[in-house]
Amino acid sequence: MSDDDTAQHRLIAPVVAWLAADAQPLGPPRTDFARFRSHLRPADVVLVEGRSRVSAVIQSVTLSAWTHAALCVGRLDELEHSRHAHTAASKLRAAGVDGRSMIVLEAELGRGVHLSPIERYADEHLRLCRPRELDDADAGRIVGFAVEHLGMPYNVRQIADLLRFFFPYGLLPRHWRSSLFEAGHGEMTRAICSTLIARAFASVRYPILPTIHRSDNGEMVFRRRNARLITPKDFDHSPYFEIVKYPFFGDDVARYRELNWQGDTRP
């Protein structure tokens, strides 16, 4: 890191910390985390309902509670043998992360692209999006593509764009206004996490929310969206991803009559 980069980092670090600071928890998680964790597979996409100031901005722009996306890349033991992930995995091991822990790759404001144990999100509202009919070979290619981008830094411009949401738009001089305001949620994806994951799936031509056109001969043709236009909620809405849920009382919903409801009064 150059002297200019170091000075810039010191200047921006307090702003990043303020934007990324979490509010109080959103209440009890809606998912049995132990089951969620044990069923994770490589190439699964984990959506998180964030609690930070950044999350509030993303929610207002994308009109969705899901503000963060992370890609499951496998167990720490496996990543330590990966050419691109070895260093990052070794740091997690040194920090006390269990070798059997499932690891997610995420792009985060202030940290860039990095690895985290899934246990980081044990107390959060989560959703698991699983690509349907994805074969093991392509799952490995998706993970490999993402892992190659470990260490990619965040863009300073993103911080300026986010900060402008905390000022009344009409009071800002026109030359201070970000293109973020003019282009809608598509430009917002520069500052959130889903772009890299979208690019990873595009590397094996796996659809998320493609646009569909009819060719001159009448055939339906799929056209990939620009990865920058993919937001976390698109994995939730995609017909090509299964939404996997792990409720606290198990999967046997037919036993709903046996649930113990405190203070229950039947109508």
Is residue 106 over pLDDT 60? Answer: yes
Residue 265 lies in a domain: no
Q: What is the pLDDT of residue 246?
A: 85
Higher-confidence residue of 65 and 241: namely: 241
pLDDT score for 191: 36
Query: Looking at the domain assignment, is residue 247 inside a domain?
Result: yes
**Cα(233)–Cα(48) distance, rounded to whole angstroms?**
10
pLDDT category at 225 given cuts 50, 70, 90 is: confident
pLDDT at residue 13 tops 90: no
In the predicted structure, residue 54 carries a pLDDT above the cut 90:
no
**In the chain, how many domains are there?**
1
Mean pLDDT of the chain: 78
Which two three-digit tokens encode residue 171? 């009071």
What confidence tens digit (pLDDT) does each residue in 203-215 have? 999 999 887 777 7
Would you say residue 264 lies in a domain? no
Q: Note the pLDDT tens digit of each residue in 109-151.
A: 777 899 999 999 998 889 999 999 999 999 999 999 999 999 8
More confident residue, 182 or 267: 267
- Residue 73 domain flag: yes
Q: Which residue has the higher pLDDT, 163 or 135?
A: 135
**Which long-range contacts (C-beta less than 8 Å, at least 24 apart) are formed by 172-176?**
none
Query: In the chain, pLDDT over 70 holds for what percent of residues?
Result: 67
Count of positions (residues) in the chain: 267
Q: If you average pLDDT over residues 81-91, what whole number do you get? A: 93
CATH of the domain at 20: 3.90.1720.10
Mean pLDDT of 168-186: 46
Alpha carbons 70 and 195: distance in angstroms, whole number: 11
Q: Looking at mean pLDDT, say which of 8-22, 149-163, 228-242 comes out highest.
A: 228-242
Asked whether residue 163 is assigned to any structural domain, the reply reads yes
**In a domain? residue 120:** yes
| DSSP character string of the chain | --HHHHHHHHHHHHHHHHHH-B-S--SS-SS-HHHHHHT--TT-EEEE---BHHHHHHHHHHTSS--EEEEEEEEHHHHTT-TTTHHHHHHHHHTT--TTSEEEEEEETTTEEEEEEGGGGTTS-EEEEEETT--HHHHHHHHHHHHTTTTPPPPHHHHHHHHGGGS-GGGS-GGG--HHHHHTHHHHGGGSSHHHHHHHHHTTT--SS-EEEE-TTS-EEEEPPPGGG--HHHHHH-TTEEEE---TT-S-GGGGGG---TT----
Comparing CA positions, the residue from 91, 85, 50 lying closest to residue 193 is 50
Domain encompassing residue 47: 3-258
Residue 158 lies in a domain: yes
For residue 190, pLDDT over 70 is answered with no
